[in-house]
Amino acid sequence: MKKWFKKIGQSFLRKDETKDKEAIPPTVEQVETKDKEAIPPAVEQVETKDKEAIPPAVEQVETKDKEAIPPTVEQEDTIKIQKNKKSWFNKLGDNFKKTSSSIRKAIFVKRLDEKSLEEIEEAFLMSDLGVNNTNLLIDELKNKKINTNNNTQENVAEFLEKQFSNINHELNLKPNKELRVILVFGVNGSGKTTTIAKLAKKGKDRNLKVLLAAADTFRAAAKEQIEKWANIIQIEVLSGNIGEDPSSVVFKAHRKAIDEKFDLLIIDTAGRLHNKVELMEELKKMTRIIQKNDEEAPHNKILVLDSTIGQNTYNQIDSFHQNIGLTGVIMTKLDGSAKGGSLIGITRKYNLPIHALGVGEKIDDLIPFIPKDFINALLGDNTGDKK
Ligand SMILES: Nc1nc2c(ncn2[C@@H]2O[C@H](COP(=O)(O)OP(=O)(O)OP(=O)(O)O)[C@@H](O)[C@H]2O)c(=O)[nH]1
Ligand SMILES: [Mg+2]
């Protein structure tokens, strides 16, 4: 594992020093070229302009992978994050950093008094921690009568980490030999299709046989978008015709996945407002259709949430949870959001895992949610490390 990381080497680390530019979605050609040059998941390596970096030959890595037990995607991501928190933190974007720095400023005061507590309260509310959680934290801080810098930070970090601790947030793409079916839904534009592409890429990187189902049959552009991603990742996609019943597409895709022994089927659905009854019914129907072939499926019912929206996050969760039953959420656009605090509210209130965070528009811009690192990014210094 260490050797694997060493291969990424300095070019990978140096990449962090370059400022993250506004994410521009890659063209098919760009990504295809990159894919030829480098071994996933080290896309950062590919993206570096550093000419010194010589990517390992495909054969070398393949031979190596056969010899050793390959790490899971989560392990690889965890290593990348641990080795390189600065990059992780940088991806969270300026808005998040602004919130994070106001929380930090507030908790670095010498003494906690009414004024500094008010500042902390404000900073947490701005990050969408939610009124209840914020009140709890402020009460806890008051009760502890904390009056030194380090203690304050540690107590806040501890408190926040505790909120996530009794849940396994990992999304295991292949926990057993069976086909895994993941149904993905959410409101319009939340980032479903992009997130599905990112998940599919992670599956492909793990040598899983991945099928995408394009069950958004409302818009021609939706079909094109997912087909484009499938082409980039080099995986199969089963698309419906425009106007076709999405459930029929889902049924066909599920049958194909079973018959052709796919490992992973990820279903993309049309964006829907959480209060549109008929669209909720459509999702329920998809679930029933899937269960005709496998009672246990869909194994994951994931709600994709746009972190820049903030306010009605809880309404969305309530509604989708009541109608479909969620198994987890993925929060997108953390690179452009100041609202990371709502993640804490989600786990506290719904006891739901947060599988991953979207931190950009590129194919590898999906990071697993690791509470400790997230809290460190929220409270830490500019490298995302705790002081
Ligand atoms: N910055 C940033 N942009 C993202 C992220 N995830 C998705 N996007 C962008 O958000 C926009 C909408 O993403 P889609 O994946 O098309 O969203 P969707 O939920 O499938 O949209 P509909 O199918 O129309 O409901 C696109 O421009 C994506 O590139 C993210 O993590 N960060
Ligand atoms: Mg879509």
Sorting pLDDT into bands at 50, 70 and 90, what band is 273? confident
Of 217, 228, 222, 203, which Cα lies nearest the Cα of 252?
Answer: 217
Is the pLDDT at 94 greater than 80? The verdict is no
Q: Whose CA is nearest to atom 26 of ligand 1?
A: 191
Query: Which residues of 87-192 form beta strands (DSSP E)?
Result: 180-185
What average pLDDT score do residues 268-284 get? 85
Query: Taking a C-beta distance cutoff of 8 angstroms, is the pair 50, 11 a contact?
Result: yes
| Closest ligand 1 atom, residue 194 Cα | 15
Is 368 touching ligand 1 by the criterion CB < 6 Å?
A: no
Is 332 touching ligand 1 by the criterion CB < 6 Å?
A: yes
DSSP type of residue 384: S
Of 260, 283, 289, 251, which Cα lies nearest the Cα of 270?
Answer: 283
Q: Whose CA is nearest to atom 6 of ligand 1?
A: 191
Q: Supply φ then ψ for residue 324, to 5 degrees.
A: -110, -30
How far is the centre of ligand 2, averaged over its atoms, from the C-alpha of 48 (Å)?
A: 29
What average pLDDT score do residues 328-349 get? 83
Query: Which residues of the chain form beta strands (DSSP E)?
Result: 180-185, 210-215, 236-239, 264-269, 300-306, 328-332, 354-358, 366-368
Please tell me the distance from the alpha carbon of residue 292 to that of residue 298, in angstroms, as a whole number: 11
pLDDT in the model for residue 142: 76
For residue 367, the ligand closest to its alpha carbon is 1
In 3-state terms the chain splits into helix, strand, coil percentages (rounded to 5) of: 55, 10, 35
Please tell me the distance from the alpha carbon of residue 136 to that of residue 132, in angstroms, as a whole number: 6
| Closest ligand 1 atom, residue 186 Cα | 19
pLDDT in the model for residue 97: 65
Please tell me the distance from the alpha carbon of residue 238 to that of residue 246, in angstroms, as a whole number: 11
Residues 44-73 have pLDDT tens digits of: 333 333 333 333 343 343 334 444 565 565
Residues 145-168 have pLDDT tens digits of: 555 455 666 777 777 788 787 889
Q: Supply φ then ψ for residue 204, to 5 degrees.
A: -60, -40
Q: Whose CA is nearest to atom 1 of ligand 1?
A: 360
Q: 10 Å Cβ neighbour count for 352?
A: 19
What average pLDDT score do residues 220-244 get? 94
How far is the centre of ligand 2, averaged over its atoms, from the C-alpha of 310 (Å)?
A: 20
How far is the centre of ligand 2, averaged over its atoms, from the C-alpha of 216 (Å)?
A: 7
How far is the centre of ligand 1, averaged over its atoms, from the C-alpha of 192 (Å)?
A: 6
For residue 330, the ligand closest to its alpha carbon is 1
Is 93 touching ligand 1 by the criterion CB < 6 Å?
A: no
Best residue among 95, 188, 194, 303 to mutate for probing ligand 1, ranked by most atoms within 8 Å of CB: 194
Is 23 touching ligand 1 by the criterion CB < 6 Å?
A: yes
How far is the centre of ligand 2, averaged over its atoms, from the C-alpha of 228 (Å)?
A: 12
Alpha-carbon Rg for the chain in angstroms: 21
Please tell me the distance from the alpha carbon of residue 115 to that of residue 308, in angstroms, as a whole number: 28
